[in-house]
A and B are shown apart, each in its own frame.
Chain A
Amino acid sequence: MENQSLYISNFKYFFKYLFFLLLIFFTLIGTIDLFFERFIIFNNQITGASKINRILNYQYTNEIPIFGSSRAQGSYCPSIIGDNVFNYGIDGASSNIWLFFLEQELKKHKKSHIIINFDLSGFSNYIGSLSNYIPNYRLTKNLIGLNKNFKYNITGIKYFGYYEYYFKSFLNEKINLTKITQNGGSFEKNTLTEKKFNKLIIKRNYNPDQYTINENAIKKFENLIKSTNRRIFVVIAPYHISYLNNFNNIEAVNDFLNKINKNDNLNVIDFRNEFTDNDLFFNTTHMNYNGAQHFSKVLKNKIHSFL
């Protein structure tokens, strides 16, 4: 009998301990999460999370948005291109994400023009880091196909493994140690060593890219173009020559661009092989800050010539 009560009291003590441990933990982590969302995640302009939050929840009437992937984020300097320009480029994201952004943008009552960075790789379904979607998980879960992953709803667990990413972006914007940031754009400040860059060129020679066709995405894009009177600029930011030399079906891209260029409210601006200097590139597909500045100046003039 004595053993039995000792046995029960041991369990009571253990579960009481577990209860208090979890209570304190969830209280603290909940506070940390709140702090993080308010002062870190949404308090900067370069994370995908803050950009998704911005496109979903805010309306800036005069804003000129730039949509696209990391190539958009790292090649377009908003301050050079014009006033009220904001770079919505998201690292690792592809056409499905910028189509989502375009869709959200066109729901707003605005008149400003729109810039879309078009990657020659075409239409694919990469979403980039999940961290971009977690703070607005309920609104974006269908987009990223994570309907059943309930852990992103639970405070204390949902940001596990992603705090660093948010903090890194926050620091990048505040300190600009390795990146220069402005209005959503994030530009590589450092350059690779010549040895490393040459290695990337060799690697590229063995890894050719190609245009991917996705009929549903193309149809969606065409419908969105037709649904608005706003002017849309589809821009192809510069690639390193080694990338273009290792591209399998360039004709297919050209056909697609020629086709959409026939829309009255759309202009294709093609800079794919306008810049050849290695010093302007961070790697074979992305420009560095120096390259982005050069490109943005030329782009600004080009856009003005259409307006």
Chain B
Amino acid sequence: MFFNSVEFLLFLPIVFVIYWFFCPKNVTGQNIIILFASYVFYGWWDWRFLSLIIFSTCLDFFLGIKIHSSKLSKKKFYLIISIACNLGILGFFKYFNFFTSSLQKSFLAIGYTFDIWSLNVILPVGISFYTFQTLSYSFDIFNNKLKPTNDFISYSAFVSFFPQLVAGPIERAKNLLPQFLNKRYFHSTNAINGCSLILYGLFKKVVIADRLAIYVNTVFNDYYSYNSISLTLAVIFFAIQIYCDFSGYSLIARGTAKLFGFELMVNFNRPYFSQSITEFWRRWHISLSTWFRDYVYIPIGGNRISKKRTYINLMLVFVVSGLWHGANWTFVFWGFIHGFFAIVFLMFSNNSKMKNKNRFRKYLNILLVFIIVNFAWIFFRSENITHAFKYLYHILQFDFSYNLVEICAEKGPLNLFISLLSIFLLYLSYLLPKSLIFNKPFKTVIFNVVVLLLIIVLGVNGESEFIYFQF
């Protein structure tokens, strides 16, 4: 079930009414409704894969208790079981085909062919997200940052909480689980703010991301027919498309959670205004980057060791985070580019004594980071590495010849105009309070009415999937 579908439009109010008006007014009752709704939400896509969530939930629930109650050597043993099982399932469903085909190609390159056992494995939606969420639970218990819960229903509801089940934010047990252990009360101001977040998220998805996707998909699918202007524009559009698509999803998730009395973490913080790659990752997909920071980067030494090792650690984390996105070398390369430039920025900032107080330099840095991030997006968006390099090659032909049909990617000047207008609207929305909490009620009403009108009038019809669902 997509957030931008008619099914969800009906599902949400039904669950809302049952949750607040018809369920027993206690924690267990509320959590049972959430759990049931979450399983319906997920099962709508494919009920067979519910078994994976249930297995993952049971496994980490019991291992969490075992980790907490055992001595150090046993603790480690249970943690390793948790890691092996979770990453084993994730690895099988997400990377099995990738590794077998890569192995086959590698042997083919040295002139040796063989038939390898292959399976047509379907990637269960959201597996990367809930696996990381359950893993964080085990890690936090192991590190004595969290006590395990004995309430299985609450824990199950925490793992499968439908607003963030399929595309995050990847919540930490430390933040979200206590909310499941306490009774929720309805607060109209929170709920109204939730509505604003949902509408703003839908606006980002339906008005901006889906609009830009029209241009981006046309150009990327037929890159050899376009000149440097269209190709460059398509990359910039993709940068904004993926941002609006994913941050839109996160906003809808946060807004929906608020309607049920929960607070989810902020996942994006205007990332394209970053002045360095490391800052970009403090603003982009914050729940994932902090996950990698806390559970991978810091445990392997972080920056408390030699510079050389710090750089290696940094690169390792970026490459792994690239691989997390998908089983394709394009994502690995994308992670590598980010890692490489993060190291460059780190080296530069270590050597530079000048602080960025100069406004011109600040804007220059923002532009530089934007260009690097866009360069990396080419790899992220391409079908394969060859596609990405060919795309780059065509951009570097520096063909700036004017042809209106080509510049508009054969979609007409109006589509291009609305695409640019939607980016301008995004910029205008940045002038509003980040939390979308307005000081006067009528401002909230005006904001929501305007956003609703923009969705209906400028929105692209099609119920297109969120990009991050595939990860």
Q: Which of B195, B456, B460 contacts A29 (CB 8 A)?
A: B456
Q: Is the CB of B459 within 8 A of A161?
A: yes
A190 CB–B CB distance under 8 Å = yes
Instruction: Mark contacts of A5-35 with chain B using CB atoms, 8 A cut-off: 1 yes-contact digit, 0 otherwise.
Output: 0010011011001101100110011001000
A29 cross-chain contacts in B, Cβ below 8 A: 452-453, 456
Task: Report the separation of the CA atoms of residues A163 and B188 in the bound assembly, to the nearest whole angstrom.
Answer: 34
Partner of B461 from the list A10, A161, A195 (CB cut-off 8 Å) is A161
* Nearest CB of B to A165, in Å: 9
User: Within the complex, which residue of A163, A177, A193 is in contact with B406, where a contact is CB–CB below 8 Å?
Assistant: A193
Q: Which B-chain residue is minimally distant from A36 (CB atoms)? A: B457
Question: Are A190 and B461 in contact, CB atoms less than 8 angstroms apart?
Answer: no
Contact A32 B188 (CB under 8 A): no
**Residues on A with beta carbons closer than 8 Å to the beta carbon of B195:** 18, 21
A102 to B414, CA, bound (A): 33
Are the C-beta atoms of A17 and B445 separated by less than 8 Å? yes
The answer, yes or no, to whether B191 is at the interface (CB within 8 Å) is: yes
Given contacts A164-B414, A192-B405, contact A25 B452 (CB under 8 A): yes
Whether the Cβ atoms of A162 and B20 lie closer than 8 Å is: no
**Which chain B residues lie closer than 8 Å to A162 at the CB level?**
461
**A60 part of interface (Cβ distance < 8 Å):** no
Are A24 and B449 also in contact (CB < 8 A) when A13-B188, A14-B191, A195-B225 are? yes
Residue of B nearest to A161 (CB): B461
Q: Are A32 and B445 in contact (CB under 8 A)?
A: no
Interface bits A191-205 vs B (CB < 8 Å: 1, else 0): 111011001000000
Partner of A163, one of B185, B404, B457: B457
With the chains together, A24 CA to B195 CA distance in Å? 16
Query: Chain A's nearest CB lies how many Å from the CB of B413?
Result: 6
Contact yes or no, A196 B414, CB < 8 A: no
Min CB distance, B297 to chain A, in Å?
42
Q: Is the CB of B405 within 8 A of A163?
A: no
Q: How many Å from the CB of B281 to the closest CB on chain A?
A: 35
**What are the interface flags for A137-178 relative to B under an 8 Å C-beta threshold, 1 for contact and 0 otherwise?**
000000000000000000011011111100110010000011
The count of chain A contact residues (Cβ–Cβ below 8 Å) is 34
| B448 interface residue (CB < 8 Å to A) | yes
Q: A7 contacts which of B185, B403, B413 (Cβ < 8 Å)?
A: B185
**Bound CA span A171–B413, Å:** 10
Q: Are A178 and B188 in contact (CB under 8 A)?
A: no
Inter-chain contact B191/A190, CB cutoff 8 Å:
no
- Known: A161-B462, A162-B461, A163-B458. Contact between A11 and B188, CB under 8 A? yes
A-contact bits for B14-34, CB 8 A (1 contact / 0 none):
000000100000000000000
List chain B residues, Cβ under 8 A from A195.
Answer: 225
Select the residue from B225, B453, B456 with max chain A CB neighbours within 10 A: B456
Question: Considering the complex, which residues of chain B in the window 425-450 have a beta carbon less than 8 Å from any beta carbon of chain A?
Answer: 441, 444-445, 448-449
Q: With an 8 A cutoff between CB atoms, is B186 at the interface?
A: yes
Let me know if B445 and A21 touch, CB within 8 A: yes
Report chain B residues within 8 Å CB of A21. 195, 445, 448-449, 452
Give the distance in Å from the alpha carbon of A193 to the alpha carbon of B402 in the complex.
10
Chain B residue with Cβ nearest A15: B188
A32 to chain B, nearest CB (A): 7
- Quick one: closest B residue to A196, CB to CB? B225
Q: CA–CA, A199 to B20, complex, Å?
A: 59
- The reply to whether B445 and A20 contact each other, CB–CB distance below 8 Å, is yes
B310 at the interface (CB under 8 A from A): no
Residues of the A chain whose Cβ atoms lie less than 8 Å from the Cβ of B188: 10-11, 13-14, 17
Task: Report the separation of the CA atoms of residues A7 and B20 in the bound assembly, to the nearest whole angstrom.
Answer: 10
Determine whether the beta carbon of A25 is less than 8 Å from that of B453.
Answer: yes
Contact (Cβ within 8 A) A14 B415? no
Tell me if B67 counts as interface (CB < 8 A to partner A). Answer: no
Is there contact, CB below 8 Å, between B414 and A171?
yes
Residues of A within 8 A of B458 (CB): 163-164
B145 within 8 A of A: no
Q: In the assembled complex, which residues on chain A have CB atoms less than 8 Å from the CB atom of B403? A: 190, 193
Chain B 162-195 interface 0/1 with A at a Cβ cutoff of 8 Å (1 = within): 0000000000000000000000011110011001
B354-406 at interface with A (beta carbon < 8 Å): 403-406
Q: Is B301's beta carbon under 8 Å from chain A? A: no
Inter-chain contact B20/A11, CB cutoff 8 Å: yes
Is B412 part of the contact surface with A, judged by Cβ < 8 Å? yes
Report the Cα distance A14→B413, complex, angstroms: 42
Cβ of B65 under 8 Å from chain A: no
Instruction: Choose one: B413, B449, B461; the contact of A25 (CB below 8 Å).
Output: B449
User: Are the CB atoms of A157 and B456 closer together than 8 Å?
Assistant: yes
Assess the A167–B414 pair: CB atoms within 8 A: yes
Interface: B300 (CB within 8 A): no
State the CA gap A298–B452 with chains docked (Å): 52
Q: Please tell me if B50 contacts chain A, counting CB pairs below 8 Å.
A: no
B462: which A residues are within 8 A, CB to CB? 161
Nearest neighbor of A32 in chain B, beta-carbon distance: B457
A111 CA to B201 CA, complexed, in Å: 57
Q: Is B420 an interface residue (CB 8 A)?
A: no
Give the chain B neighbours of A177 by CB distance below 8 A: 413
Given contacts A11-B188, A161-B459, A168-B414, is CB(A196)–CB(B406) below 8 Å? Answer: yes
Alpha-carbon distance between A164 and B458 when the two chains are bound, in angstroms: 7
* Distance between B349 CB and nearest chain A CB, rounded to angstroms: 45
Q: B364 CB to closest chain A CB, in angstroms?
A: 36
Q: With contacts A190-B404, A190-B405 known, is A156 near B414, CB below 8 A?
A: no
Neighbour of B192 across the interface among A17, A28, A32, CB < 8 A: A17
The answer to whether A178 and B225 touch across the interface, beta carbons within 8 angstroms, is no
B192, B404, B453: the one contacting A14 at CB < 8 Å is: B192
Contacting residue for A156 out of B404, B415, B456, CB 8 A: B456
Query: When chains A and B are docked, how far (Å) is the Cα of A191 from the Cα of B404?
Result: 9
Contact call B449/A10, Cβ cutoff below 8 A: no
Known: A10-B187, A11-B188, A20-B445. A160 touches B461 (CB 8 A): yes
Q: Are B453 and A164 in contact (CB under 8 A)?
A: no
Measured in the bound complex, the distance between the Cα atoms of B448 and A168 in whole Å is: 27
Q: Which residue of A lies closest to B462 (CB)?
A: A161
In the assembled complex, B418 has its CB within 8 A of some CB on chain A? yes
Q: Known A-B contacts: A10-B187, A17-B444. Give 7 more (CB < 8 A).
A: A7-B185, A10-B188, A21-B195, A29-B452, A160-B456, A164-B418, A192-B405
22 contacts between A and B (CB under 8 A): A10-B186, A10-B191, A11-B20, A14-B186, A17-B192, A17-B441, A17-B445, A25-B449, A25-B452, A29-B452, A29-B453, A164-B458, A168-B412, A177-B413, A178-B404, A178-B405, A178-B412, A178-B413, A190-B404, A190-B405, A192-B405, A199-B225
Q: B residues touching A (Cβ–Cβ < 8 Å)?
A: 20, 185-188, 191-192, 195, 225, 403-406, 412-415, 418, 441, 444-445, 448-449, 452-453, 456-462
Q: Can you list the 6 inter-chain pairs with the closest CB atoms, starting with the nearest?
A: A161-B461, A14-B188, A13-B188, A10-B188, A168-B414, A190-B405
